[in-house]
Amino acid sequence: MREVAIVAAGMTRFGELWQTSLRDLFVDAATEALNAAGVDRLDAIFVGSMASGQFVGQEHIGPLCADHLGMAGVAAMRVESACASGGMALRAGFAEVASGLSDLVLVAGVEKMNDGADATAVLATAADQETEAYQGVTFPGLYAMIARAHMETYGTTEEELAAVAVKSHRHGALNPKAQFGRVVDLQSVMTSTLVADPLRLLHCSPVTDGAAAVLLCPLRDAKRFTDRPVKLIGSGVATGAMALADRADPAFLDAVQLSAERAYRMAAIGPGDVHVAEVHDCFSIAEICCIEALGLVERGHGRHAAPSGETALGGRVPVNTSGGLKAKGHPVGATGVAQVIEVFEQLRGEAGDRQVADARFGLTQNMGGSGASSVVHILERV
C-alpha cells in the first residue's frame, strides 16, 4: 500500500442555510479544496451523504456532484453509513489512493437537513426499524437510555453531562464556521427543555446544513500541492449490534473500541500518543462513551473529563476543539469529513484561537446510529 496524504480542505459554514442547495453546498466546499491545491482535475470523487433522498428528494448524487463541479466523466460515487457516511467516504478515498487505483481523490460530505423533511423520522431510519423505530423510539430516546445505563453503572451525574456541552460551546465560540458560536453556562444547559430524560435540548446536536471536502494523494506527490501535507496513517472500521437491546453493555460502544484498535494498529501508535481528537458527540453522553471506547480515558472515567478540564483546550487531550457536533453542527453526511478538517488544520498550525500547541498526532471518530458503525482515522503532521 502507498502512503496517503491530505493536501487541501474546504468547508462551508454550518447552520440553517436556506438559500443554498445540496449541490451548491458540495460545490462550495469542493471548490475551496481544489483551489487551495491548485488542482483542476481529479481521478475520483467520494461523497458521504446519509439521506439526501429523504431530506431533499435527490438520490444518485455521485454523478450530480461531479457534474456540478464541472467534472462530469470522473468516477464518482456516494457512500452511506448513517451519520458515519462522511468518515466512511474518507475510508473509501484512502483505500483508493493507497491501493494505487487513483492518484488524486476528492472526498466530500454533504447534507441539507432543513428543507422541510421530518428530521427526527429521517434520522430514525438509522435505528433498528422493527425493534426500535416502529416502537416509537427516537435517537434522543436511545441516547437517553445509554445515558441512564452509564449513570447506573458509573454514577455519572446530570452536571457531568452538562459540562460536556459547556466545553463544546466554549470551543465552538472560537470557530467561525460553527452553527452555534456562543458560550453557554452549566445552569443554561441543566434548565434547557427536557427532550428525553436525562437529555435536555442543550445536550443534543442540532439539525444542520453543510458540506466539507478534502483532497487526497500519495504522500510522495504531496509537495506538488502543498508545503504542509498531513499524513493519514491509520484507518479502522467496525460494526456492532444495530439495536441497543442486543448489546451486552449499552453503556459501552463496542464498535468504537474495535475500530480504534484497528486504526491504532495500522498507525503503530496508542491512545496515549493522541494530541487532539474529534469524536462523535451527537449527544453529550456520546462524547463520554466515545472517549472511553477510544482509550483516551479509562472506562467509567469519561464523566470526569469535561468537568476537570482534561478534554478542554489546554487540557491533557483536547476533544472536539471545533465545537464538535454539539456546537459546530451535525449535517450528518458531512460530519466525518469536517472532523478530519479540524484535525488537518490543528496539525498544520492553522486552527487560530483553537490551536493545540505542538500537536503531532490527531484522531477522528465518526459513528452511525447509536454506535452500530464506527470509523476512526489517525493523522500525523509531516
Count of positions (residues) in the chain: 382
d(CA 257, CA 243): 17
d(CA 87, CA 378): 12
The alpha carbon of residue 307 and the mean position of all alpha carbons in its chain are separated, in whole angstroms, by: 23
Amino acid identity for residue 78 in this structure? R
Active site residue 83: yes
d(CA 215, CA 202): 34
Burial of 298 (0-12, 13-18, 19+ CB in 10 A): exposed
Task: Give 50's DSSP letter.
Answer: S
Amino acid identity for residue 327 in this structure? A
The one catalytic residue among 83, 217, 282, 289: 83
d(CA 156, CA 34): 45
What grid cell was written down for 14?
Answer: 454550518
Active site residue 68: no
CB burial string 225-242: b at 16+ within 10 A, e below: bbeebbbbbbbbbbbbbb
The one catalytic residue among 169, 171, 280, 330: 330
Beta-bridge partner residues of 380:
231, 361
E runs forming strands in 146-285: 194-196, 199-200, 209-218, 230-239, 276-278
Assess contact for 331 and 123: CB atoms under 8 A. Answer: no
Residues noted as catalytic: 83, 330
